[in-house]
Amino acid sequence: MKIENPTILIVDDDECAALLMRTVFERAEFVEPLHFARDGMEAIAYLRGDGVFGDRAQFPFPTVVLLDLNMPGKNGFEVLAWIRRQPGLKRLRVYVMSASSQPEDIERAYDLGANSYLVKPGNLDGLMNQAKCLLAWLRCSHFASAILASQDSVGASLPGLGSPPAELGESAAGESTVDEAGRRNARLEARLKAQTEELEALRAEREMMGRSIAHDLRGPLMSIGGFTELMLENSGAQLDDRGRQYLAKITTSADQLARLVSEIVVRSKAAGKNPAGEQAGLSEQVSAA
């Protein structure tokens, strides 16, 4: 069935970004109230109908969830994994809406069951176009009736996301032959394992830095640029020429800084590829031995 005005749940911990999204959807002629969850745990509570969210007249079950990835506590990946583990939520449409355009984030989101992946635009026009396209798509789509099991069937706790990858290499010490060649191979494998763990920690630190930059800077910059553009477009705003010039400069500066942040994130991810190269070099040494 078609839904003229779908219920949209936005999950985002950035209050400024949420306010901007509200403004954008209103300008895109979305008449139904938007619903917000401030973090991953609140999103789970909303979907479960816990506490105040049990009043479905005030907090209706969403037609679609717009899910941010980088949030404190339970992040978007964890929320998405939880949703897809619940039999009663198997038909819920989940669109990831993140500042990250990294291929590994996109692939992981789809692997966990995202219906779509949207990259947040860096300016108001882009956000407006994205909102209009999304609403047009939702309004012309046919949705199956939500089959929601009882509240008890929607798990109370967030299940794990799987065990960590197996450690590189098996120690030769467990083999029956313990000659000198075997002991040397075991030492080399132990060195490889230690180096791999150290390089993986460095890669994770670089990735965390890139995510922190994307989450802590991109959102506020988008909000600054978006709200200044709204003020410039508002004919009722009491601004003289100098005031409008100042706002225009703020918008331009925010866009420039957003592009710089994107470049930093890309370079951070590129730097994160070095540990893999070093790991390959260590593997060659073990093979040669």
Nearest to 131 by CA among 105, 106, 95: 95
> How many domains are there within the chain?
2
- Label residue 218 by pLDDT band (50, 70, 90): low
pLDDT mean across residues, the chain = 76
Q: Residue 14 and residue 274: Cα distance in Å, rounded?
A: 32
22 and 111 inside one domain? yes
Residues 110 and 227 reside in one and the same domain: no
The CATH number covering residue 52 comes to 3.40.50.2300
**The three-state (H, E, C) secondary structure of 84-146, written as one string:** HCCHHHCCCEEEEEECCCCHHHHHHHHHCCCCEEEECCCCHHHHHHHHHHHHHHHHHCECCCC
**Dihedral (CA of 145, 149, 150, 155) sign:** negative
- Residue 18, Cβ neighbours under 10 Å: how many? 20
Q: Most confidently modeled of 22-26, 209-213, 221-225, 257-261? A: 22-26
Report d(CA 32, CA 141) in Å as an integer.
17
Show the domain range for 101.
8-153
112 and 184 assigned to the same domain: no
Which of the four pLDDT bands, split at 50, 70 and 90, describes residue 28? confident
Question: 1 lies in a domain?
Answer: no
Statement to judge: residues 148 and 276 lie in one domain: no
**Could you tell me if 102 and 184 lie in one domain?**
no
pLDDT tens by residue, 30-78: 877 789 999 999 999 999 999 999 999 999 999 999 999 988 889 999 9
pLDDT of residue 267: 67
pLDDT score, position 116: 94
Q: Does residue 23 lie in a domain region? A: yes
C-alpha–C-alpha distance, residues 169 and 284, integer Å: 13
Q: Which residue has the tokens 């692939």?
A: 107
Instruction: Give the domain-ending residue among 153, 188, 216.
Output: 153
Give the pLDDT score at 170: 46
For the ranges 63-67, 100-104, 244-248, the lowest mean pLDDT is seen at: 244-248
Identity of residue 222: M
Alpha carbon distance 251, 222 (integer Å) = 9
